[in-house]
Amino acid sequence: MGNASSMLTQYDIEEVQEHCNYLFSQQEIVSLYERFCQLDRSAKGFISEDEFLSIPEFSLNPLSKRLLRMVDGLNFKDFVSFLSTFSAKASFHQKI
Listed in sequence order, the residues at least 6 apart from 30 whose beta carbon sits closer than 8 Å to its beta carbon are 5, 8, 13
Residue 56 CA to residue 25 CA, distance in Å, equals: 26
DSSP state at residue 74 = B
Structural element, H or E, at residue 77: helix 76-84
Say whether pTM exceeds 0.95: no
Is the pLDDT at 10 greater than 90? The verdict is: yes
Under the banding of pLDDT at 50, 70 and 90, the label for residue 4 is very low
What are the DSSP calls for 1-57, one per residue?
A: --SSGGG--HHHHHHHHHHTTT-S-HHHHHHHHHHHHHH-TT-SSSB-HHHHHTSHH
Confidence of residue 70 (pLDDT cuts 50, 70, 90): confident
11-56 pLDDT tens trace = 999 999 999 989 999 999 999 999 999 999 889 999 888 888 888 8
DSSP assignment letter at 87: S
Residue 89 reports pLDDT greater than 50: yes
What structural domains and CATH numbers belong to the chain? 7-95 (1.10.238.10)
pLDDT of residue 38: 92
Mean pLDDT rounded to a whole number for the chain: 86
